[in-house]
Amino acid sequence: MSATTKKIHLVRHAQAEHNFGSDWTIRDAPLTDLGREQSIALLKRTRDGIQQTAQLLVSSPMRRTLETTLKGFTTLKERLEKDGKSIVLLDILQEVEANPCDTPLPVSELKTTLNGIFADLDFSSISPEFTTKEGIFHPDNVEERARRVRLWLRDREEEEIVVVAHGDLLRYVNGQYPPKTGMHPWDNTEVRLYTFVSSSDQNATLIEISPEVEGGPTSSGPTSSEM
């Protein structure tokens, strides 16, 4: 398999509480009611497409991405679990800034929040620095963190991967940060399809194949850097 034939579906989470009210003080902001509706709409428009073909489901371990993943990719999750593949929680996918809304809850709290809906997920790979915004998680190191995300995806054996993450982080992952004038914003639950430019470049550069997959998003909300 060549990296240049891989399909990487990058997905921004559904609307979260900080998107709706521009309140960056909400720690690890969860979805709004509209965000939960958006996640169900995401399921409906992708369950007969990429959810039937993707070979790996990856999520940032923050509340808004995890909830989007569980509600929006139910069909894919259940199909992969039959083959022994659980959702992969990749800590380097967390959002960029050090605002409370972009800072993850500790794993112990993630397992009990929102009536325990994340309790059965595998958090064993999460770094002890996950909640600190220090080291690789410091905002100043986001370009290197995004590069590590791309390298990790390129090195995986799966040919088709779904990744649920955050608007700012995804724009570093796809190499489109800072946003240019006139650039289309990454809407809530928008799916974009990418592959790799080569199998060997040190940056594991991505190239966009399609701006959206299986229909469009239901609405948008700003990231913390857009306000």
Domains and CATH numbers, the chain: 3-197 (3.40.50.1240)
Considering only residues 214 and 190, tell me which one the structure prediction assigns the higher pLDDT.
190
Q: Which residues neighbour 118 within 8 Å (Cβ) at sequence distance 6 or greater?
A: 63, 66, 70, 110, 111
Q: Look up the pTM and report it.
A: 0.92
Mean pLDDT of all residues in the chain? 92
3-state class of 147 per DSSP?
A: helix
- CA distances to 27, 94, 225 from 135, rounded to whole Å, are 20, 13, 20
pLDDT band, residue 21 (cuts 50/70/90): confident
By DSSP bridging, strand 160-165 and strand 88-89 are unpaired
DSSP state of 188: B
As a whole number, mean pLDDT of residues 143-172 equals 97
% of the chain surpassing 70 pLDDT: 90
Considering only residues 218 and 125, tell me which one the structure prediction assigns the higher pLDDT.
125
3-state class of 168 per DSSP?
A: helix
